[in-house]
Amino acid sequence: MPLIDSSTGNVIRGYTVEQLRDAARLMRGYDMVALCAAGSGHAGGTLSIMDITAALYLHAAHHDPSNPAWPDRDRIVWSAGHKAPSLYLGLAFAGFCALEDVVTLRKLGSPFQGHPHCLKLSGVEVSTGSLGQGLSISVGMALAARLDGRNHKIFCLMGDGEQQEGQVWEAAMEAGHYNLDNLIAVIDCNRLQIDGWVKDVMEVEPLADKYESFGWNVISVDGHNMEALVAVFEDARQSEGKPVVILADTVKGKGVSFMENQAGWHGKVPNREELTLALRGLRVADEIPVERLLERAKAYQAEAEQKLEARMPHVSRNYWWNASDSMKVAMEPTRKGLGQSLAANGGDERVVCLGLDISGSITISDFYAGKPERASRWLSMGIAEQSATSAAAGLAREGKLPVVGSYATFSAARNLDQIRVSVCYSNLNVLIVGAHAGVSVGPDGATHQALEDLFAMMGLPNMSVVVPCDVVEARKATTHLLLEQVGPKYIRFAREATPIVTADATPFVFGKANRIRLRHQAANFAEAFETRLDEDCRDEGEDLTIIACGPEVPEAMRAAWILRQEYGYATRILNMHTLKPIDREAIVRAALETGAIVTAEEHQIGALAGQVSLVLTETPRMYGHPIITAAIGIKDRFGDSGAPWELVKELEVSAEHIAVKAAELMAHKREPVGAASHAERA
């Protein structure tokens, strides 16, 4: 059954198998253009699922693009959120949105977010991106349809690697238990995931036997045979008494010869030359207005940047990183410090590293790279953050030093109860790595941007929390936490390259803040500053203090520079790399000596600001001392897709935001609130 006019029940447009094949071929072409224009995204998995997408959106599903909220429409739950561009093209070809707009994929403010967001794009049923949740949502929708006496179907699209998530099997059990014959799951079985072949990362087969034993009807199909796909969707609709799973045998990267069956093309996109080759191979080069689409993407980007700049706080010059001689810094991703430390210290036989299918990009795989003798201590756990966390607890209980890491949002939130009970309650020696935290995963969008993780990690008894400010500090912090610190520990860092502002000789003492002072102009921006342990410093009569952690430390240094240049203020910066236990003395010293404190965190406001406020309000030495404070951080909102540095501006955590906020604060410090109210009264 094709697309339907919901008001009359008439067919809007029907597709023959040949037309569906053509549509899928074109959709693959548009996918390549959008990914090339975005500069990031997932080529392999969007290509493997595209024939399924065409068959489903243009033929099998009953829906009406002019009435996306039609109560009797079939629901499509896109559980494999990283394959979002394929979903967007399904919607566009079906008429839910303009095809040419898909090329704004992953750009700031675009409805075509890195992972699907139902509040931004009509036709997207639910927001997804954290793997393994879609089938449970589908169970809920199927139960609701039954309660409401409606006959529509719920389709749920998943990957085969995604089957490693335990939640999938909880949902599979529920669907079987409730005999949900209005639920049709489709698994894109391309046999690859990020770290390699599914069978090597964590075997999921035999999927057919597993689903059957959970009470499902299983249908297998060649996921690139359009005729067969159309037929199995028809069969699946007829199922009675049982949910249906369609196991679609596919090829990752299908249709683009150099991407086929290559794990490396999971999270990679074609450059301009590769795009030309891909479009030629797909035989769509003459049918897609490539130049016009790329221009459209560029124009959208230019407009987004212009709007963003217009909203930036006003400063008289361009103080951005490397914009002028005085702002020169070297940059490197902080995450590399983790890999450096694990490579250097992994010889300790107690160290074991647990992989969660994102090993290369978070650098945890540097633990074993080029060191075959460590292979047995590398434990690939698949996409299964919850079980891996408890397994790490078990390893720690037996005397090992386990390291378990993923995107911070998956390694410190998805598995929160496991961290709380398995790890913290038993006070076990597990190092949890919160990688790609904050806004730095940029175009992936809000689902992947951990902006709340510190609240939970800092709130857990027994947990130590460190947020290093650069790659050098990340190496030192990892080494300390791995080998010295006993008990549960959390390290958080970003993905994007950020300024290197410390050196080998810079002190790093767990639990002790560093004080950073602007001394003079230097060829390298970082060298204009002196860094010492705060407790070793004397008061220099600074006007204010900025307390920062992680990537906000370099921003705080840039803010100190701006405050000196624009306002003549002298700033004390505290690098609060250890958030738990926090350096209370450094905070109190700063408050008593400078009287004004701005906190800066790339996190929802409060992880750092709340702790600083607590120290100030509960320390008897502070009673009766005037102190004015302000907080820079994310203001109770989700992130967005966009380039990481754009998001630093969009989410108002740039040095300019810190500096202008600090200047506002200084106006109050100079003119105490009491004095102003006296004047008003007079």
Ligand X SMILES: Cc1ncc(C[n+]2csc(CCOP(=O)(O)OP(=O)(O)O)c2C)c(N)n1
Interface residue list for ligand X (CB under 6 A): 44-45, 48, 80, 82, 129-132, 159-162, 188, 190, 192-194, 252, 266, 357-358, 383, 406, 410, 414
Tokens matching residue 426:
């038993």
In DSSP terms, 389 is beta-bridged to none
CB of 475 to ligand X, least distance (A): 25
Helices 336-345 and 471-483 meet at what angle, rounded to 10? 40
DSSP, collapsed to helix, strand or coil, labels residue 552 as helix
**Minimal distance in Å, beta carbon 364 to ligand X?**
13
Comparison of 95 and 223: residue with beta carbon closer to ligand X: 223
Q: Among residues 6 and 359, whose Cβ is nearest to ligand X? A: 359
**Residue 598 in 3-state DSSP?**
strand
Instruction: Tell me how far, at minimum, the Cβ of 147 lies from ligand X, in Å.
Output: 29
The first and second tokens of residue 202, run together, are: 């964590």
Residue 80 or 226 with smaller CB distance to ligand X: 80
CA dist 29 and 95 (Å) reads 18
Query: What does the block give as tokens for 144?
Result: 């609701």
Min CB(263)–ligand X separation in Å: 8
| Spatial contact of 209 and 236, defined as CB atoms under 8 Å apart | no
Helix (H, G, I), strand (E, B) or coil at 263: helix
Pick the closest to residue 335 from 470, 190, 485, 187 (CA basis): 470
Nearer to ligand X, 214 or 407 (CB): 407
**C-alpha span between 417 and 386 (Å, rounded):** 8
Residue 648 Cβ vs ligand X, minimum distance, rounded to whole Å: 23
The residue (of 357 and 496) whose beta carbon lies closer to ligand X is 357
CB of 193 to ligand X, least distance (A): 4
Cβ distance to ligand X smaller for residue 192 or 391: 192
Burial of 106 (0-12, 13-18, 19+ CB in 10 A): buried
Closer residue to ligand X, CB minimum distance, 45 or 499: 45
On the 0-12 / 13-18 / 19+ scale of CB atoms within 10 A, 648 is buried
* Type of residue found at 616: L
* Cβ–Cβ under 8 Å, residues 297 and 41: no
Choice between 186 and 576, CB closer to ligand X = 186
The Cα–Cα gap between 448 and 122 comes to 21
> Smallest Cα–Cα separation from 381: which of 401, 405, 361?
405
Residue type, 532: R
What's the closest the beta carbon of residue 159 comes to ligand X, in angstroms?
A: 2
- Among all residues, whose Cβ is closest to ligand X? 159
Angle of helix 607-618 relative to helix 584-594, nearest 10 degrees, comes to 70
Residue 363 phi/psi, 5° resolution?
75, 10
User: Shortest approach of ligand X to residue 396 CB, angstroms?
Assistant: 22
- Cβ proximity to ligand X: between 190 and 502 the closer is 190
Instruction: Provide, rounded to whole angstroms, the least separation between the CB of residue 647 and ligand X.
Output: 19
Residue 123: helix, strand or coil by DSSP?
coil
Least gap, CB of 637 to ligand X (angstroms): 21
Considering the complex, state which of residue 448 and residue 580 has its C-beta at the smaller distance from ligand X: 448
**Is the Cβ–Cβ distance between 345 and 336 less than 8 Å?**
no
DSSP secondary structure of 165-183: SHHHHHHHHHHHHTT-TTE
Q: Is the Cβ of residue 493 or residue 508 nearer to ligand X in the bound state?
A: 493
Question: Closest distance between ligand X and the C-beta of residue 307, in Å?
Answer: 29
Least distance (Å) between residue 110 CB and ligand X: 19
Cβ of residue 605: shortest distance to ligand X, in angstroms? 26
Measured from the CB atom, is 355 or 633 closer to ligand X? Answer: 355
Q: How far apart are CA 440 and CA 438, in angstroms?
A: 6
E-strand ranges in 336-420 read 351-355, 378-380, 401-407
Sign of CA dihedral 371, 375, 376, 381: positive
Within 501-583, residue ranges assigned H as helices are 552-562
Name which of 190 and 389 has its Cβ closer to ligand X.
190
Residue 225 CB: number of other CB atoms within 10 A?
17
Residue 385 or residue 555: which is nearer to ligand X going by CB? 385
How many Å apart are CA 76 and CA 123, to the nearest integer?
9
- According to DSSP, residue 197 is labeled B
Which of residues 246 and 598 has its CB atom nearest to ligand X in the complex? 246
Q: Which of 605, 574, 369, 406 is nearest to 495 (CA)?
A: 406
Those residues whose C-beta lies under 8 Å from the C-beta of residue 6, and which sit 6 or more positions away, are 64, 66, 67, 70, 72, 73
Taking a C-beta distance cutoff of 8 angstroms, is the pair 354, 432 a contact? no
**Cβ at position 392, least distance to ligand X in Å:** 16
Provide the minimum distance between the beta carbon of 664 and ligand X in the complex, in angstroms, as a whole number.
39
Q: Which of 550, 595, 562, 578 is nearest to 438 (CA)?
A: 550
